[in-house]
Structure 1
Amino acid sequence: MPAERLKAVCVFCGSSAGKNEAYVRAATELGTALVENGLELVYGGGNRGLMGAVAASVAERGGVVTGFIPETMTQFEGLQTVGTVHFVPTMHARKAAMAEASGAFVALPGGFGTFEELLEMVTWSQLRLHDKPVAILNTLGFYDPFLALLDRAVEDGFIAPVNRGLLIVKDNVPDLLAAIIDYTRPENAGYDLDWSKAPQPVVLP
């Protein structure tokens, strides 16, 4: 992907900080690097945990922060008070809005929600719903068990080896940003689907 095409990076991460300060340091470093590279942050709109750390890092350095959050979730995640926050009606709408506003996706450590968001973006890439880079910042080897599962799925014939390459994995921020800025989609990865020909959804009475 040419650098001029990448304007905003969507970051998926935990609303908890985790038990090791290295996770917060990595989130803060990523936020700083986004600003230094002229990139905007798109994220889930909360102000707790790693979500809050990366957003604060971008905002404190004068970067652009855009959050999307269902209003109900503010009861748990809190509300980011810097940047621009858009309220959306559902979790599905949240993910769709984040995907539309972003040119790349990065997952930091997190829980169920982070895993689900990461896997959906990889799945969408495989289905050619987008051609944007999807990456993991593998701080402290957090994602090593998950990556081992993916390798097992390749070995057992559930994931095509070329599609395994749709997921970028780096253990440090400089390498990760370089990979997404210079991203070229793996040749022959995914399915050759033309979504412009998809039928309109059926509206049930």
Structure 2
Amino acid sequence: MSDEPCDPGSPAVSAICVYCASGPVDRSYLDLAAQTGAAIAEAGHTLVSGGGRVGMMGALVRGAREAGGYTIGIIPEHLMKAEVADTDSDELIVTDTMRERKRLMDELSDGFITLPGGIGTLEELFETWTGGFLGVHGKPMALLNHDDFYTPILRWLDDLAGRGFVTPHSLQRLQVVTDVGTALAVADSAVR
């Protein structure tokens, strides 16, 4: 464990950050997370995650490592016990705050995939999406709408666009996909 990120020294051509649930969820979501982690590893990328080893986050990192991938977990000190830190990470970065965690996740990543999750996942998604829209970064983002998980939110966003609160340009920054392969292709598009 370290306080600062270091060069992973891996052969990965890029780092893909995945936002997802850390709590217990249905088996199909755990399988989706494991499949995503494996796909990232098989494509030769480093996986950046929130540093937990339970729920979807745990399935994600295990899937990546089982496929030979390099994993970087970033977790704030106060969540070490709550999320049960992924001490098997190739690199586990412990931060003082959630803001520092998210900053490092953003900085170390070349693209983003959002899987199903709760309010923490939504916060990460919206903050990264807003940063892209405002020009803070130009990194690609994929929202994996597995089993219509995000359809209610997408309908709400369309309604906001119709009311003039969300621009068509901002909606275009977020690529909505329905399978892991397409999500990875979107998140990886900045590298190619």
When the two structures are superposed, what TM-score results if normalisation uses the length of structure 1?
0.83
> Which residue number in structure 1 is paired with residue 23 of structure 2?
16
The structure 2 residue matched to 1:36, chosen from 14, 39, 42, is 42
Confirm whether residue 155 of structure 1 aligns to residue 162 of structure 2.
Answer: yes
Q: State the superposition RMSD in angstroms.
A: 1.5
**Aligned partner of 2:145 among 129, 133, 138:** 138
Q: Structure 2: how far apart are the matches of 1:27 and 1:17? A: 12
CA positional deviation for 1:136: 0.9
The percentage of aligned residue pairs carrying the same residue is 39
The alpha-carbon deviation at position 137 of structure 1 amounts to 1.2
Among candidates 74, 80, 92, match of residue 85 of structure 1: 92
Corresponding residue SS for 2:82: helix
Deviation >2 Å, runs of 4+: 179-184
TM-score by length of 2: 0.89
Contact 1:9–1:106 (Cα < 8 Å) also in 2: yes
Segments of 5+ residues of structure 2 without an aligned counterpart are 1-11
Question: What is the DSSP-based 3-state SS (H/G/I as helix, E as strand, rest coil) of the residue aligned with 1:75?
Answer: coil
Give the Cα–Cα distance (whole angstroms) in 2 for the partners of residues 182 and 103 of structure 1. Answer: 9
1:117 to 106, 112, 124: 124
Select which of 91, 94, 106 maps to 2:101.
94
State the structure with more CA Rg. Answer: 1
Count of residues in Structure 1 that have an aligned counterpart in Structure 2: 179
Q: Which amino acid aligns with 2:99?
A: H
Structure 1 residue runs without a partner (length 5+) = 185-205
